[in-house]
Copies of this chain bind each other. A is one copy, B any other.
Amino acid sequence: MFDGTVITVRYAETDCMGVVHHAVYPVWFEIARTDYIKSLGLSYAEMEKDGVMLPVTGISCRYKLPAKYDDRLRITTRVTRLTPARIEFEYELRRDGEDEILATGTSSHAFVDSKSFKPLNVRKVLPDLYNAVEKEAGQ
């Protein structure tokens, strides 16, 4: 679990309903999983240079309460599933310092070779990543 991702809502992220557009949340959740990986001492940018990509195979999001321009939000990220071929994340969005959940989301990913786009076994290719996530998520 990592809850250190803080987002301040950008004006461009709102729409004419006066609140954040729903397609922005998956962008925020992507920032949150980048931060999650950094919190393990790793880097998704480095992973890509090492030939491993993590394309999104599925997302979901539930919107409970709107977020507004300039709101300061906090995202909690958890890994809910890890195999050598796949990883799944779960996200919770709150106003920073508040308990009430504004939105929840999930994302599913495959580990693929960044040149061929073919599946790879991340436990073999990037054992440090695999072990670090397994250790963190098993806690």
Taking Cβ atoms with an 8 Å cutoff, the residues of A that contact B are 8, 10-12, 14-19, 21-24, 26-27, 30-31, 34, 43-45, 48, 53, 55-63, 66, 68-70, 117
Contact = CB atoms under 8 A, between A and B. Distances in A.
Given A11-B15, A16-B11, A34-B11, A63 B57 contact: yes
A45 to B, nearest CB: 4
B17 A55 contact: yes
Query: What is the count of identical protomers in the complex?
Result: 4
A16 B60 contact: no
B34 A12 contact: no
A18 B8 CA distance: 20
Residue among A14, A19, A21 with most chain B CB within 10 A: A21
A56 B63 contact: yes
Contact of A30 (B10, B61, B66, B68): B10
A70 B57 contact: no
A56 B24 CA distance: 12
